[in-house]
């Protein structure tokens, strides 16, 4: 097995230049109610916004290729998207695609192929059959001409780690130390693996993520780097909200540590939606759950957060939840534009995405600028 550490590869920050973005066409009946029709306008908006800045690879199963092409044709995007016909179990590209790393001297880009077990395997995984998802990273590296680092002995999802590109990684203890990931490894051993595979020097272990996040609280829903030394943290001033104690613990931790370069982090508070975003009976009526798949309940609070944004080369794709959260949406846009003046903040309706179980960042995976091995 090639070792990224020995080869000098590292994981750039998401804010660094991209060659492309990878996404997956939504089709899982237990994630996307009513055949994904309610979520499709949001997907189209994301595809259009990405294509304004960089290439888009869209993975789609053979069974849904015709439907996907028709939607792209109607949106005027068919000739601009590169379709990759590959079987998979769901649309969460962040977690099932490779985590791409770069060799700075040669510019070569390669993918780290983690083991995927549907966010917990037999302990608390969200669906029982994830073989195609686990195979996707390897197939993508091969099809796109990128080298591959075999990390199939280590369970990880891309949404559970953020990089500042200068040696620092962000993770949450709630996720990476959960029993369904790598229970035979200690915290120190997990941190060492991450640094080895991602070319990092230091792991910052936030205690918690977003309340009721079914991924065991991925970091990409609660905290993200804007640039080296600067991050946003999901926040609420409402002490009666269960998110308050979780975010307060994260803030206390972040204020107590330095990054790999010895810097104190500048932490911006990005408020969560003022009103909880909950799943409805109408949403539930559109699902078809497979045996062994995690089911939902009407009124269940969803893990809605504005931190689940995505950087393209020149933009920020920012979730918006609508309805009674219109003011929260507008505030998030204002703050992100203030903190990212060099980028255009693009609001994306995301309520139907969070019904699926994740959001914009969960649905996207960046490929850093560089060279393939083809």
Contacts of 359 (CB under 8 A, 6+ apart): 221, 304, 305, 308, 319, 350, 353
DSSP symbol at 35: G
DSSP-derived pairing of the beta strands 109-115 and 147-155: parallel
Helix, strand, coil % in the chain, rounded to nearest 5: 30, 25, 45
Q: Reply yes or no on whether 362 is catalytic.
A: yes
CB 101, CB 147: distance < 8 Å: no
Give per-residue burial for 11-40: e unless 16+ CB within 10 Å, then b.
Answer: bbbbbbebbbbbbbbbbbebbbbeebebbb
8: left (phi over 0), alpha (psi -120 to 50) or beta: left
Specify the 3-state DSSP secondary structure of 285.
Answer: helix
Question: Which residue in 97, 141, 340, 362 is the catalytic one?
Answer: 362
**Residue 117 burial (CB count, 10 A):** 19
Contact predicate 197/189, CB 8 Å? no
Please give the backbone phi and psi of residue 356, each rounded to the nearest 5 degrees, phi first: -70, -15
- Is the separation of the CB atoms in 234 and 222 below 8 Å? yes
Could you please report the per-residue DSSP string of 167-232?
SEEEEEHHHHTSTTT-TTS-HHHHHHHHHHHHT-SEEEEES--STT-TTT--GGGTEEEEETTEEE
Give catalytic residue positions. Answer: 362
């Amino acid at each position: 097995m090639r070792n990224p550490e020995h080869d000098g590869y590292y994981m750039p920050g998401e804010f660094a230049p991209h060659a492309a973005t990878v996404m997956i066409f939504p089709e899982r009946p237990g994630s996307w109610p009513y055949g994904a029709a309610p979520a499709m306008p949001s997907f189209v908006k994301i595809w259009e916004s990405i294509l304004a800045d960089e290439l888009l690879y869209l993975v789609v199963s053979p069974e849904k290729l015709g439907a996907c092409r028709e939607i792209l044709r109607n949106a005027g995007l068919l000739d601009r998207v590169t379709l990759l016909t590959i079987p998979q179990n769901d649309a969460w590209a962040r977690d099932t695609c490779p985590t791409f790393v770069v060799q700075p001297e040669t510019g070569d880009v390669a993918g780290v192929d983690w083991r995927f077990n549907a966010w917990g395997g037999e302990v608390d995984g969200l669906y029982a059959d994830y073989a195609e998802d686990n195979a996707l990273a390897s197939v993508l590296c091969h099809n796109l001409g990128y080298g591959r680092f075999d990390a199939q002995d280590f369970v990880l999802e891309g949404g559970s780690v953020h990089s500042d590109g200068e040696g620092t990684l962000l993770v949450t203890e709630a996720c990476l130390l959960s029993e369904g990931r790598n229970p035979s490894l200690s915290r120190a051993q997990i941190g060492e693996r991450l640094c080895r595979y991602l070319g990092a020097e230091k792991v910052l272990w936030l205690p918690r993520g977003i309340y009721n996040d079914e991924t065991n609280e991925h970091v990409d829903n609660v905290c993200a780097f804007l640039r080296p030394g600067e991050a946003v943290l999901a926040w609420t001033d409402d002490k009666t909200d269960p998110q308050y104690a979780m975010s307060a613990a994260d803030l206390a931790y972040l204020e107590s540590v330095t990054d790999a370069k010895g810097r104190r982090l500048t932490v911006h508070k990005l408020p969560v939606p003022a009103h909880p975003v909950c799943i409805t009976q109408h949403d539930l009526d559109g699902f078809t759950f497979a045996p062994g798949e995690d089911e939902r309940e009407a009124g269940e609070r969803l893990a809605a957060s504005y931190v689940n944004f995505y950087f393209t080369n020149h933009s920020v794709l920012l979730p918006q939840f609508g309805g009674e959260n219109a003011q929260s949406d507008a505030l998030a846009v204002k703050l992100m534009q203030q903190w990212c003046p060099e980028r255009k903040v693009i609001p994306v309706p995301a309520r139907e995405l969070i019904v699926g179980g994740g959001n914009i960042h969960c649905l996207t995976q960046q490929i850093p600028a560089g060279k393939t091995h083809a």
